[in-house]
Structure 1
Amino acid sequence: MLDGLETIRMARAMTAHAAERTKVIAGNVANADTPGFRARDLQPFSETYRRAAGDALRATRAGHLDARGGAASVRIAEDQGGRAPNGNSVSLEDEMVRTAEAKRQHDLSLAVYRSSLNMLRSAIGRKG
């Protein structure tokens, strides 16, 4: 039942994106001293969700243009930061900032989910 609601679907996708980004960040931190390792990060959620949902244009008739066609997978983009003498591009300070951003994104997804559930409860006459 809840899968048909766009806000619930978006909150679930945002939570999954934040979790995947946290895994990538953890991998960066784990390889902070590995020679030649290049820091990685996920593309922003807004880009991946828009491409996965394909809702730039929605075709309501056969003659309408449809903007779908982007891949729904999350791609890992290499960081464009500087490199250490051993070729490693991981900056622990940058990873700390990315961790805070991922936590904020996760908290936002939970808030959207909680708010959506409260609206549903209100709609059926129950108190939150």
Structure 2
Amino acid sequence: MFQKLEIFQVAHAMATHAGRLQVVAAQNMANADTPGYQARDLTAFKDTLRLDGSKDAQRATRTSHLNGTRNEEEIAGRAKVTLDKNAQSDPNGNSVAIEDEILRAVDAKRQHDRALAIYRSSLTILRTSLGRS
């Protein structure tokens, strides 16, 4: 029943993206002492949403509307792991900064919590519209 509602698909895609972001941060932290390791980053969730007006895109009627596709696997598949271009290397060639990775992990948790809040709120609205509390 919920598979056809776009808000649930976008919330699921956002939670999946947050999980992948947490994995990237954990991998970076695990390799913080590996010589020559380059820190990785994940494409931001907002950049993975389709904004090109294709038939899959949601229609925005206000500037505050979220634009995206209907298929969360497609959204999650567009998030690419890349080398972190802002990271500076140590003398041994390692570019991982633990402080940055901690902030990345906190950002992933916030994004996951936001996705769950969207899901819960949408579920409450759906239940209310059906007359169930």
TM-score norm. by structure 1 comes to: 0.83
Tell me the equivalent position of 1:114.
120
CA distance in 1, matches of 2:131, 2:98: 49
Query: What residue identity is the alignment partner of 1:77?
Result: T
Residue 45 in structure 1 maps to residue 41 in structure 2: no
CA distance in 1, matches of 2:41, 2:104: 9
Deviations 1:64-108 (A, max 9, x none): xxxx9x984321121121100000000000001111110100000
Deviation at 1:41, TM superposition (A): 1.0
Deviation at 1:58, TM superposition (A): 3.6
Deviating 4+ runs (over 4 angstroms): none
Tell me the equivalent position of 1:13.
13
CA distance in 1, matches of 2:99, 2:120: 32
| Consecutive unaligned residues in structure 1, runs of 5 or more | 60-67
CA distance in 2, matches of 1:58, 1:74: 19
Deviations 1:39-60 (A, max 9, x none): 0010000111x14xxx53144x
The higher radius of gyration belongs to 1
Identity of aligned residues (%): 46
| Consecutive unaligned residues in structure 2, runs of 5 or more | 56-68
